[in-house]
Amino acid sequence: MLAFNQSGKRLMTRMISSHRAKRTCLAIVLAAGEGTRMCSSRPKVLHAIGGKTLIAHVLSAAIEAGGAELAIVVGPDRADVAAEARRLAPQAQIFEQRERLGTAHAVLAARKAIEAAADDILVMFADTPLVRRETLARLRTALSEGAAVAVLGFTPKDPAGYGRLVMNGDDLAAIVEEKDATPQQRAIGFVNGGLMALSGNNALAILDQIGNANAKGEYYLTDAVAIARQMGLKAVAIETGEDDVRGINTKAQLAETEAVLQGRLRAQAMEAGVTLIAPETVFLSSDTKLGRDVVIEPNVVFGPGVTVEDGATIRSFSHLEGAHVGKGARVGPFARLRPGAKLGTDVHIGNFVEVKASTIEDGAKANHLAYIGDARIGEGANIGAGTITCNYDGVDKHRTDIGKGAFIGTNSSLVAPVKIGDGAYIGSGSVVTKDVPADALMFERAELVTKQGWAARFRAAKAARKKNT
């Protein structure tokens, strides 16, 4: 046990943080946006950055920030958004906002969840995917320190379109939406990032007082600040960077946000010991897992679901998705690993090799120009250039099983289902339609025909005919 007089401060800090950790939290994610400016048949929040939908990013941040209770507000007839929300967070309650009457109206669509009175309520926007859990934690800390309302403030290059934060010393006095602002208020550069934390004790009392007497005729969530102040409660603004509150309305903003996310993911990878030779050319997914001393050469793309173990090298122009790369393996240049590719230790997959739903066991090699689908390649086996597993008969997929230490000669077609035994040898250019026993040689050869002098005679005859015409 710590002696209070010596380490009192540390103990106090611990007591406060464990007390904070016990505070319950409801995260309300507003996903009822229209998203018309995306010019897409897909709802805005189902667009992806870093291989993950916008709403998925926001839900992960909410959960990481301690949002044990989740409420998601979707627009009418948005079964697709609700389905994605349910897939990502089966525990979440889903509410429908029938009419789009403003951000406070959207929050109140989740009234039932708010009535359960969590200590902290976080209101998040599903189109603002880069908010970090540390930033959400700072909002929650403000509540635990006595604020009834906490918002994120930032200073953009151009404040146009944002709600302005009217400060009174350290306290936040009000948020004024641009359309309702006086010229002096418009001159304020410190603006509202949109997300808000409300203390659960006061949330409904505040939200129920919000009206719609403003320029847009909407129920503004931002009015919560002035109302809290009138109730004698405290409101604060927590300053953050623009990236945390970057909202997406257009495809161009989607791309800008992707760029910011890629920057974060690359930095995290390098901090964890990955070598990125040209980081700006490597595209990662939010769930990409790269071990220590992994080297990624320029121009590599990681789709979702990739793990690369320590010491592996991914060479230029490779595309990986849903794949596992074992320790010390070498992939590429110009390799494609598709979902279900599992590479063991020290495997080599070279240029123009595609691997799908296949396990390549330790030390096996396919160095050039091959398709390996629905297969097992045994330990140390060698797959020659031009080898194809013919896994599809037009209707069904079939498996190819290649034993340990087998040697598949170049340009062989392995017509699945087929089994090549351990240590077997397939002669070049064979079409293998039958299982091959261990240590056997199988080859398919038509007789070679050699006609001495034939080419010279052929050319001479052609030349003579040309001369006569």
52 — phi, psi (to 5°)? -145, 140
Instruction: Map the footprint of ligand UD1 across residues 245-304, applying CB under 6 A.
Output: 247
**220 contact choice in Mg ion, ligand UD1, none (CB below 5 to 8 Å, kind-dependent):** ligand UD1
SS3 41: coil
Closest separation between CB of residue 378 and ligand UD1, Å?
Answer: 52
Q: Which residue has the tokens 């045994």?
A: 378
Cα–Cα distance measured from residue 156 to residue 168, given in angstroms and rounded to the nearest whole number: 20
| Minimum CB distance to ligand UD1 smaller for 30 or for 329 | 30
Asked if 56 is part of the footprint of ligand UD1 (rule: CB under 6 A), the reply reads no
Q: Which residue(s) pair with 275 in the sheet?
A: 295
CB 410 within 8 A of CB 386: yes
Residues 6+ apart with CB under 8 A from 53: 45, 46, 47, 84, 88
Name the residue among 26, 131, 119 with its Cα closest to residue 73: 26
CB 320 within 8 A of CB 356: no
Structure tokens of 262? 């890629």
Structure tokens of 386? 């031009």
Asked if 106 is part of the footprint of ligand UD1 (rule: CB under 6 A), the reply reads yes
- Beta strand 25-31 with 69-74: parallel, antiparallel or unpaired? parallel
Residue from 43, 66, 194, 409 in contact with ligand UD1 (CB under 6 A): 194
CB 196 within 8 A of CB 188: no
Q: Which residue has the tokens 């077997």?
A: 424
Structure tokens of 296? 């990624």
Closest separation between CB of residue 25 and ligand UD1, Å?
Answer: 19
Closest separation between CB of residue 103 and ligand UD1, Å?
Answer: 4
Sign of the CA dihedral running 13, 18, 23, 28: positive
Closest separation between CB of residue 127 and Mg ion, Å?
Answer: 7
Cα–Cα distance measured from residue 88 to residue 11, given in angstroms and rounded to the nearest whole number: 38
Residue from 26, 27, 61, 73 in contact with ligand UD1 (CB under 6 A): 73
Q: Which residue(s) pair with 331 in the sheet?
A: 314, 349
DSSP secondary-structure letter at 96? Answer: E
**177 contact choice in Mg ion, ligand UD1, none (CB below 5 to 8 Å, kind-dependent):** ligand UD1
| Minimum CB distance to Mg ion smaller for 120 or for 177 | 177
Amino acid (1-letter code) at residue 218: E
Asked if 95 is part of the footprint of ligand UD1 (rule: CB under 6 A), the reply reads no
Q: % helix / strand / coil in the chain, to the nearest 5?
A: 30, 30, 45
Count of chain residues binding ligand UD1 (CB under 6 A): 26
Name the residue among 140, 110, 150, 132 with its Cα closest to residue 60: 132
19 as an active site residue: the answer is no
Residue from 53, 222, 359, 389 in contact with ligand UD1 (CB under 6 A): 222
Cα–Cα distance measured from residue 358 to residue 342, given in angstroms and rounded to the nearest whole number: 6
Mask 230-249, x = binds Mg ion (CB under 5 A)? -----------------x--
Asked if 27 is part of the footprint of ligand UD1 (rule: CB under 6 A), the reply reads no
Asked if 101 is part of the footprint of ligand UD1 (rule: CB under 6 A), the reply reads yes
Asked if 175 is part of the footprint of ligand UD1 (rule: CB under 6 A), the reply reads yes
Instruction: Map the footprint of Mg ion across residues 247-266, applying CB under 5 A.
Output: 247
Closest separation between CB of residue 128 and ligand UD1, Å?
Answer: 7
- The helix or strand, by DSSP H or E, that contains position 184, with its residue range, turns out to be helix 183-186
**50 contact choice in Mg ion, ligand UD1, none (CB below 5 to 8 Å, kind-dependent):** none
Asked if 32 is part of the footprint of ligand UD1 (rule: CB under 6 A), the reply reads yes
CB 422 within 8 A of CB 439: yes
SS3 421: coil
Asked if 192 is part of the footprint of ligand UD1 (rule: CB under 6 A), the reply reads yes
Of 19, 348, 368, 398, the active-site residue reads: 368
DSSP secondary-structure letter at 86? Answer: H
| Minimum CB distance to ligand UD1 smaller for 125 or for 302 | 125
Asked if 103 is part of the footprint of ligand UD1 (rule: CB under 6 A), the reply reads yes
Closest separation between CB of residue 218 and ligand UD1, Å?
Answer: 7
Closest separation between CB of residue 95 and Mg ion, Å?
Answer: 20
**175 contact choice in ligand UD1, Mg ion, none (CB below 5 to 8 Å, kind-dependent):** ligand UD1
Site stretch for ligand UD1 (CB under 6 A), options 100-108, 227-235, 270-278, 457-465:
100-108
Asked if 163 is part of the footprint of ligand UD1 (rule: CB under 6 A), the reply reads yes
**192 contact choice in ligand UD1, Mg ion, none (CB below 5 to 8 Å, kind-dependent):** ligand UD1
Binding site for ligand UD1 (CB under 6 A): 30, 32-33, 73, 97, 100-103, 105-106, 125-127, 162-163, 175, 177, 191-194, 220-222, 247
- The site for Mg ion (CB under 5 A) is made up of 247
By annotation, the residues acting in catalysis are 368
